[in-house]
Chain A
Amino acid sequence: MTSLTVPGPLAATPGSGWRKTKDRIATTVIYACVLVALVPLVWLLWTVVSRGLRGITGDGWFTGSQRGLTYRDAGGGALHAIVGTLEQVALCTVISVPIALLVAIYLVEYGRGPLARATTFMVDILTGIPSIVAALFIYAVFVTSFSGQRAGWLVSLALVMLMIPVVVRTTEEMLRLVPNELREASYALGVPKWKTIVKIVLPTAMSGIMTGIVLGVARVAGETAPLLVLVGYSPNDNNNLFSGPQGSLPGMIKDQFGNLGSTTILRGGHKVSVHYAADRMWAAALTLILLVMALNLLARLIASRSKVSS
């Protein structure tokens, strides 16, 4: 007797070979897309790190300024620019975060009807405002109308308009992710609504809110248009946010870029051509990236401490 094996219902059917092929094609395409997306990112990081490393490890990078230096001079530091950027971004953050958090809380916890819809609409519009327009607006209000002087704090004000929508959006998303059951649990304990928001909702969403704030900081720290319009650039130390031209990292990058040039020096008995300004430009770019990264890490640290680890 020969036994015939009858193909069971689980055996491969004629169509399943094609299905596996489709699966392989889709997998390949997805991995290829990931690679394509990664290439420019890695390339950019590599370029900035490889060209900027020499500059930021040089003497006095974190202690000196660019006072009196031209593209023919070596060295100099970025302290004036780091201080300027930190001050401007710090003032911007201090103004933006409370406003943005309150707007987001209003939209998620209280907002009903036309006012909420109008607010959402305005935030949407604000998200799309180019930084140069925000800068011109601040210039028109404070310099033209009130005949004020250009200074660092005006940059902060322009950046506020760029930062608020970013923080509102992310905070809104994070607050909506907090399950309603937690709010109800708190109400059922006889906790008033405002306290429920402050003590239950915000802490639960805190790590996400922190990420949103860092995104906002990263967005504004590299803005250049408001600097050009509202404060200019100074190669000298100026720690005063309220008076005079001030250095900043994007300003420094732009300044060095505008003065690129090579100079010839003697090194070991040979004439070599060096590019001091280009080195400093890349070093300033790397410093800006490191600054944003450091803020990111700091925010994550704060967020992870504010929450019980689970």
Chain B
Amino acid sequence: MAKRIDARNLNIYYGKFLAVADVDFTIAPRSVTAFIGPSGCGKSTVLRTINRMHEVIAGATVQGELLLDGEDIYGADVDPVNVRRTIGMVFQRPNPFPTMSIYDNVAAGLKLQASRMKRSDLDVVVEKSLRAANLWDEVKDRLAKPGAGLSGGQQQRLCIARAIAVEPQVLLMDEPCSALDPISTLAIEDLIQSLKQKYTIVIVTHNMQQAARVSERTAFFNLAGVGKPGQLVEIDDTQKIFSNPRERRTEDYISGRFG
């Protein structure tokens, strides 16, 4: 059920400003791909175009093709709501719904997608999702308590549980560990390893060790120059990127010579 993503000649605009130019890549199903690069190079922007979250911002547009198993998600008859049901997202800062309990947070996607489910079926999904997010044992006795009462790391795992409860085929993660301590980070990284059995995962990270630890493929983004759009410098196997990259710029970034 995990799906493959192809980007072809992707140009991403904010209004008239070209933010990211000419991006091509292929992401295999059931793999973890890391997007790395200096701040402002457009890696988060590219990530957000993959589930059409990009266009939530006023004036943001995309040119080119983004194919999910060959189907253009920017096609004229494609409903962005359906795209987002298929491609889930976890954000930089944990953002559980403050008015909802832990249970309701996990069930939110299903409940709000208008599918009427029996309570017993919902119970099963909630438990399965929380187990998959390695959070079940910590919260099983307080499912009715507010999700905002958990620690930051637990909240982020709650958000992951919420994202996978709707059974997406791709999971996008926008710096999911940048607000977390090392122990919570480790928990999330372990989680990514187990999630990739089922999902195609794309993760944006500023932490190069993290990219090296969790991903099979790494894409390096950079600005073409001051005031110029961001671009994809290269995408390759993580091992190759970190040991023997094709591009000099990649090597400079990874070895800490700039950025």
Chain A residues packing against B (C-beta within 8 Å): 112, 179, 181-192, 195-196, 199-200, 203-204, 206, 307-310
Contact = CB atoms under 8 A, between A and B. Distances in A.
A203 B108 CA distance: 13
A204 B51 CA distance: 25
A204 B98 contact: yes
Nearest to B102: A308
B91 A191 contact: no
B89 interface: yes
A196 B56 CA distance: 13
A195 B53 CA distance: 16
B95 interface: yes
Contacts, number: 79
Interface stretch (B158-166, B213-221, B239-247, B248-256): B158-166
Nearest to B100: A308
B56 A199 contact: no
A262 B38 CA distance: 85
Contacts of A203: 99
Contact of A186 (B51, B88, B112, B114): B112
20 contacts: A112-B58, A182-B97, A182-B98, A184-B56, A185-B97, A188-B88, A189-B88, A189-B112, A189-B113, A189-B162, A190-B85, A190-B166, A191-B81, A191-B108, A191-B113, A200-B112, A203-B99, A204-B99, A307-B99, A308-B101
Given A184-B56, A185-B159, A191 B112 contact: yes
Contacts of A181: 91, 93, 95
Contacts of B152: none
B109 A189 contact: yes
Contacts of A206: 99
B160 to A, nearest CB: 12
A305 to B, nearest CB: 12
Nearest to B105: A185
A190 B148 contact: no
A182 B162 CA distance: 13
B172 to A, nearest CB: 8
B99 A189 contact: no
A135 to B, nearest CB: 40
B178 to A, nearest CB: 14
Contacts of B84: 187-190
Given A181-B95, A308-B99, A190 B146 contact: no
B182 interface: no
A1 B81 CA distance: 84
Nearest to A205: B99
Q: Which of B53, B56, B95 has the most CB of A within 10 A?
A: B95
A57 to B, nearest CB: 42
B149 interface: yes
A184 B56 CA distance: 8
Nearest to A196: B112
B97 A310 contact: no
B82 interface: yes
A158 B108 CA distance: 42
